[in-house]
Amino acid sequence: MPVITLKDGTKLEAAANRRLVLALEDSGIDILHRCGGHAQCTTCRVRFIAGEPETMTDAERERLQARGLLGTARLSCQVLCDHDMRVEVVNRLSASDFTDPGPRPDEAITPDPVWGARPDAGSQG
Ligand code: FES
């Protein structure tokens, strides 16, 4: 099973190919997902410290580009846990003014994923 390590060193086990947002939430991390995992809100974003996937859904790329976040953050609702990774969770319910994290994302990536290469893949060594 892939191991997800948080910035503070906490290690979580994720079922293979689980959406990262769900793996985090089901491990007790109060990550926000205000749009319900549809690559719209960017509240589920994480910063990769290690193991950033080289692929990206078109929906994620378009949203990150529109928000000026491409190259600095990834949307955990658009990332599958298919290898070990280390991430920093950016937005937590406990540090927000929201009363709930947002609608629960589906098990499968939404919208239907169209995969492409991460635009900056290979440029970080
Ligand atoms: S972009 Fe809204 S939950 Fe991921």
Rounded distance from Cα 31 to ligand 1 centre (Å): 10
Domain presence at residue 42: yes
For the cut 80, the answer to whether the pLDDT of residue 125 exceeds it is no
Q: Which amino acid is at 102?
A: G
| Contact status, residue 105 vs residue 37, Cβ threshold 8 Å | yes
Count structural domains, the chain: 1
For the cut 90, the answer to whether the pLDDT of residue 1 exceeds it is yes
Domain presence at residue 71: yes
Q: Is the pTM of this model over 0.85?
A: yes
Domain that holds residue 43: 3-95
For ligand 1, what atom is nearest to the CA of residue 105?
A: 3
- What pLDDT was estimated at residue 93? 98
Domain presence at residue 103: no
- d(CA 113, CA 86) in angstroms, rounded, equals 23
Domain presence at residue 39: yes
Which tens digits make up the pLDDT trace of 53-87? 999 999 999 999 999 999 999 999 999 999 999 99
- Which of 25, 41, 79 for a ligand 1 pocket mutation test, highest count of atoms within 8 Å of Cβ? 41
Backbone angles phi, psi at 60, to 5 degrees: -65, -45
- What pLDDT was estimated at residue 122? 62
| Contact status, residue 22 vs residue 107, Cβ threshold 8 Å | yes
Per the model's pLDDT, the better-predicted residue between 124 and 37 turns out to be 37
- What pLDDT was estimated at residue 13? 97
- Which of 19, 40, 56 for a ligand 1 pocket mutation test, highest count of atoms within 8 Å of Cβ? 40
Distance (Å) of CA 95 to CA 7, 38, 48, 63? 16, 22, 20, 23
Q: How many C-beta atoms surround the C-beta of residue 118 within 10 A? A: 18
Whether ligand 1 lies within 6 angstroms of the CB of 59 is answered as: no
Rounded distance from Cα 40 to ligand 1 centre (Å): 5
- What pLDDT was estimated at residue 121? 75
Domain presence at residue 74: yes
For ligand 1, what atom is nearest to the CA of residue 32?
A: 3
Rounded distance from Cα 19 to ligand 1 centre (Å): 11
